[in-house]
Structure 1
Amino acid sequence: MIDLSIIIPIYNVEKYIRPCIESIYRQGLNENQFEVIIVNDGTKDKSMEMIADIIPAHSNITVINQENQGLSVARNNGIAIAKGEYILMPDSDDMLIDYSVKPLLEKVLAEKADIIMADFVQMNDEEINNIPQHPIKQQEAFKTTEISGKDILYEKYCRWYWRSVYRRKFLHENNISFVPGIYAQDVPFTNECFLKVKKCLRTSWLLNIYRRGHESAASKYSLKRSNDTSIAIRKSWELSRSLSLSPETAYQQDDLLFSIFYTHICAIACGHLRNFSEVCQAINFLKEQIPHLTFNHDKRQRMWAYMYNQLPLTVFAFIIYSKQMLLRKLK
């Protein structure tokens, strides 16, 4: 068994994929120690051409070519053939910080931790292109803290699966995978990982450069994206009901789910859906996924739960739509 599998799904990222792949080979790792699994998810641009010379130059690269099935299926297919004891899944439009992976890998191998979660830095295209002139801040000494996954989840909900290294055995034994076909696949995946993890490490060590401010699938709101988020909320809701959570954890989990729910309905109301009819469709789909929600932490949560559960769909949709339109005018 090798130490690490790095899985990179590729779909229409011709501007960014080469820097991403190149950054993987600036980690100070022996190529016999890790593998790179590139999943060509039926890309329609020149992404694969941009790295055509890199692939044969490294004996540890495996390429999966498939019809476009989305990021979830691409990552799941990569995990299915991975041979590494640990798995890292950076996004294809981001980069790994030079020499950032090695200390994380050495630590989890020594500790046999299920997950180690690192930190990241956000940069736009211009900043990334001028890293020599605007270098990433000096890394502090590498330190880790053992922490429960639930504490990470509830201190600051962390959807960013790409800043963590996962033990492959942990994912397989707990049947954890990405939900196929949805945009918000990170929500149920991350939620399940941190609810089920037994040994988790956290560090402030910087692992990734998160590329912000460019056009991507994540920046386009639509009815499909709204419905995908509803499915993600349902998956997380079902998970929380299926596990034997302590009363304290169940309370925290419900508070977390309310935060996701409320953010979602606000996005539906002001997320640039074409008209009120689409807002009603989005709310209707959410109610089909989760017919009944219960939140009891405070008056605000109970009020939203009551409106969601008791009001006719069009009335509830009109309330959240009107609220967001009013707030927009007041800005």
Structure 2
Amino acid sequence: MRVPIHWAVLCLAVAALVLPSPAGAFPEKPITCIAPANPGGGWDLTCRSAERVLREEKLVSQPIAVENMPGGSGAVGIAHVVTKRKGDGHLFVAASPALTFTMALKRTPYGYKDITPLAAVAADFGAVVVRKDAPWKTLKELMDAVKANPTAVAFAGGSAPGGQDHVKAAKVVKAAGADPTKMKYVPYQGGGEALASLLGGHTQAFPGDISEIAGQLEGGQIRVLAVLADKRLPGTLKEIPTAKEQGFDATYVVWRGYYAAGGIPKAQADWWVATLAKMVKSPTWQKIAGDNKWFDLWMGGEDFARFLEKDLETSGVLLKELGFLK
């Protein structure tokens, strides 16, 4: 018996609906990007930027949700990933040197070998920031105040003591000839909270990142006393002096990247690296990077993993030099 063509087409359509996905199809379900801090800081921005680009550029077929998971400068986030999401390729986590310091300080039992490093996608730079109405007009004036009375200037930071923001401030204080272990540091759960503390007058300085303070700088709410780069940054930041040119040999580069859970299939890890590589080349990412004062940086897969192991080693040395690690 001849089957009418329209009926045959219908049967094929129904069959297609019930057939399993092609072998290796990924991702198969919604994705989560974990920002291991409260909204408003660098990790939050790193996650939300990826979510927007991957969605708008249609690089991912599944929806992406951003989940804030503050605590311990990344320790809570990595513990969640290692203990509850092992082998799950449907999440990625924002990372930066702050996580490296958390590992070096032994504030987490987990290391980079317990997760899957994916890629570093941008470079940011540290900066020393005060309120627009602060009495200090230069970095020297601020450091003179710190040397005269180490507790007179409270530095707000978005990481735990000994973490990334603390280290940025400590490098400048040490370069000024003062003891970084005696400076007053007030930790918050992310750069957004630390910046809010500064703007609210609860603290006097913020050793943040350029990307974290870009909006407040353009809005005239803050004064950037120094950028922690080897040379002045281009564009709208070119008028900001470096710490080095003011006589303080202190620099700090912030890599921004992502990691996935440990134990995920190699094919999924490769998919993530390839997808993130496409992301950073997209017009949408380039626009976001420009708006956030991020600079081009790419390290993917094994290159990034090797870099992280070296970064962990050098971070331990730095923490010992600053007196934060015995």
TM-score norm. by structure 1 comes to 0.25
Larger Rg: 2
TM-score norm. by structure 2 comes to 0.25
| Larger RCO of the pair (alpha carbons < 8 Å, separation 6+) | 2
